[in-house]
Amino acid sequence: MALNLTVNNLSFKYDGTQVLEDVNIEVKIGEMLSIVGPNGSGKSTLLKCINRILKTQQNTVLIDGEDTSKLNLKELSKIMGYVPQNSTNTFPFTVFDIVLMGRKPYIHWSLSERDTEIVAEMMNYIGIGNLAMRHFNELSGGEQQKVIIARALAQQPQFLLLDEPTSSLDIKHQLEILCILKSLAKTKHRAVIVAMHDLNLASRFSDSMLMLKKGSIFTVGTPNAVLTEENIEAVYGIKTHVTNSVLGSPQVTPLISEFNGIKPLKTTPKIETIDSRA
C-alpha cells in the first residue's frame, strides 16, 4: 500500500504562460488536504498535473518515491482517482452503469462478480444504493456528485483528487459530500486532495491547507496556520476577521466595506425605465 504522494518542484505552462511554478506537496494516507486560492491561481491545473491529465516533467509526481510518469494510465488509475469540476452526462446511463465505469482498469474480458460487489459496496457507502437503477440525468446535482465520487472510488484508488466538488451544491449537500470525503480519509485510509473556494468549509474539514497565489505556494500548513487575516489579505486582496468557530476551526468573515474600496449601498439606486409606448 502506498503511504504518501510527493510533488517535487512542479511547474507548468499553458502556451508559454507560467501557470504553476515550483510547487511542492506531500500528502499521506489518512489525510485530507484542501487547495485554496483565488480564481486563476492554478488549483485545477495542479490537480490535473498530479493526475497526469496534463503532462509534466519526470520525477515531479512521486508515490512512495516512484515516478508516476513511468506508470501507464491503467496502472495510475488503480492508484489515483479524479473527480472533475464538471461531470455532465447526456446519455441515459443508470447510476449502476456510471459507477461501474470506475471498474474499467480492472476488467479484462468480462465483468466479474467481484466488480459488481465493489460497485454495490461503493454505492452503499456513498448512500446512493437506492438509486442504482435510476437514470443519472434524472438526479439532483447533489445526487449526481455522489455518483461521480462513487465511480472514482470504484477504481479503489489510494489517492482521491476532487476539483471543487461542492461549488454548485446547496449547504446540505456540501456538508454531506465533505463528510463523506473526511470519512474516506479517516476510516477507509485514503488520501483526499480537494480544490475548494469556500475557505470556511475547507477549514472545517481539512487536516491541512495549501494556499496558492499566482501559481506558487504562498503558504501551507494547518487551517489555523494558513487562514490568518494577513495571509488572506495578501492572497485575496481583501480584509477579513478570523475567529475560532464553535468547532475549533478558523472562521473567516470578509469585511465587505474594505473590499477594494467598495462600500455597501446605503440607498437603493434609482433605475430608469423606458416607456415601451413611446
| 9 lies in the same domain as 108 | no
Q: Which helix or strand (DSSP H or E) is residue 240 part of?
A: strand 240-244
Q: How many distinct structural domains can be found in the chain?
A: 2
**pLDDT (tens digit, 0 to 9) for every residue of the chain, 278 residues total?**
567 899 999 999 988 889 999 999 999 999 999 999 999 999 999 999 999 999 988 889 999 989 998 999 889 999 999 999 876 666 689 999 999 999 998 887 778 899 999 999 999 999 999 999 999 999 988 899 899 999 999 999 999 999 999 887 889 989 999 999 999 999 989 999 999 999 999 999 999 999 999 999 999 999 999 999 999 999 999 999 999 988 889 999 998 764 555 555 555 555 555 554 54
User: Range of 62's domain?
Assistant: 1-79+157-278
pTM score, two decimals? Answer: 0.87
- 186, 264: one domain: yes
Same domain membership, residue 240 and residue 163: yes
Task: Classify each residue of 78-108 as buried b or exposed e, where b means 16 or more C-beta atoms within 10 Å of its C-beta.
Answer: ebbbbbbeebeeeeebbbbbbbbebbebbee
Number of helices and strands in the chain (H, E) = 9, 12
Question: Are 49 and 178 part of one and the same domain?
Answer: yes
Q: Is 44 helix (H, G, I), strand (E, B) or coil?
A: helix
